[in-house]
Structure 1
Amino acid sequence: MRERLVELLDDADAALTRDQLSAHASLAQALLLLSQASLETQPESSLHGGLVNWQIKRVVTFVDAHLDASIHVKELAQEARLSLSHFSHAFKQSFGEPPLAYVTRRRLARACDMMLASDEPLSWIAHECGFYDQSHFTRHFHRRLGNTPQNWRRLHAQGPLD
């Protein structure tokens, strides 16, 4: 994991001058790796008011396994075995964002991975990542990453600029 983290940070550093979207994507992946690593080393009681490790792992696993489907906060609360209101508060304490914002961020990360790894149509990728349609996907993508999926894919398909 350490090598992958260093690689992602090096990519982000190199991309800062030529491609801010690529730098943002590398930093997001590095942050995800760091957060996953911290889950493994963090004491159960270190997050006052937040979720404990087993709850975080269950929720993250559930989200990643169901990104292609509709995910409701109630389902996530059930995974953590908490009431809806307590879960929403504890989730935000642990992740720094509301549950559905986290789900959207994970969907967009998966979509970016799929766009880089395949030539599948954006409408198919949108559906596979749990968006209602390509328009819904594009709105969320543009709001979070500041570009359309098509432009982002085109920029990243070209590879590094010299």
Structure 2
Amino acid sequence: MARLEHIAPEPHSRSATGGLCTRRERMVKQLILANLGESLEVTELARACALSRSHFSRAFKCSTGLSPQEWIRQQRIQRAKELIISSALSLTQISQECGFCDQAHFCHIFSRSEGVNPMTWRNHQLRVIAA
């Protein structure tokens, strides 16, 4: 039995458990990350995976633990945090770069995610780095 486990190929598909197969998950995540600054529609992501919108949404959540919209939002916030720390861009520029419709929406989503507004978060991070 141990020998069979050793030579059995690694599973390439999570579809048996309801998730996206590894190839599709990697592809759609790369697509999202390459287009964070754009409007990303779940329907288009589903089409890229050759799945219906509802099947894609369920499979994506099963694979990642987050809905496609939540995962996109999380990635946008992460990218915004990188830009807040490493660039001199304004919040308006950062919000556009990360795909938020405007600065107010960005600040609202950021505050809800991080518990503080972007500039408070930035100042705290700079103090931590300087310490």
By the TM > 0.5 criterion, same fold?
yes
Residue 13 of structure 2 corresponds to: 45
Residue 28 of structure 1 corresponds to: none
Specify every segment of 5 or more residues in structure 2 that has no aligned partner in the other structure, as ranges. Answer: 1-9
Cα shift readout 1:88-123 (whole Å, capped 9, x = no counterpart): 110110011110010000000000011111121111
| Cα deviation, residue 43, structure 1 | 2.7
Runs of 4 or more above 3 Å deviation: 159-162
Which of structures 1 and 2 has the larger relative contact order (alpha carbons within 8 angstroms, sep 6+)? 2
* Partners of 2:43 and 2:53 within 8 A in 1: yes
Cα shift readout 1:45-64 (whole Å, capped 9, x = no counterpart): 34610000110011101100
1:108 aligns with 2:80: no
Cα shift readout 1:5-61 (whole Å, capped 9, x = no counterpart): xxxxxxxxxxxxxxxxxxxxxxxxxxxxxxxxxxxxx73234610000110011101
How many pairs does the alignment contain? Answer: 121
Specify every segment of 5 or more residues in structure 1 that has no aligned partner in the other structure, as ranges. Answer: 1-41
* Partners of 2:110 and 2:118 within 8 A in 1: yes
Greater Rg over alpha carbons, structure: 2
Distance in 1 separating the partners of 2:122 and 2:24: 35
Residue 144 of structure 1 corresponds to: 113
Distance in 2 separating the partners of 1:46 and 1:131: 31
Residue 97 of structure 1 corresponds to: 66
Q: Which one of the candidate residues 45, 56, 60 is aligned to 1:76?
A: 45
Residue 125 of structure 2 corresponds to: 156
| Cα deviation, residue 161, structure 1 | 6.7
Matched residue type, 1:56? E
| Cα deviation, residue 154, structure 1 | 1.1
| Cα deviation, residue 160, structure 1 | 3.9
TM-score by length of 2: 0.86
Cα RMSD after superposing both structures: 1.5
Distance in 2 separating the partners of 1:69 and 1:84: 19
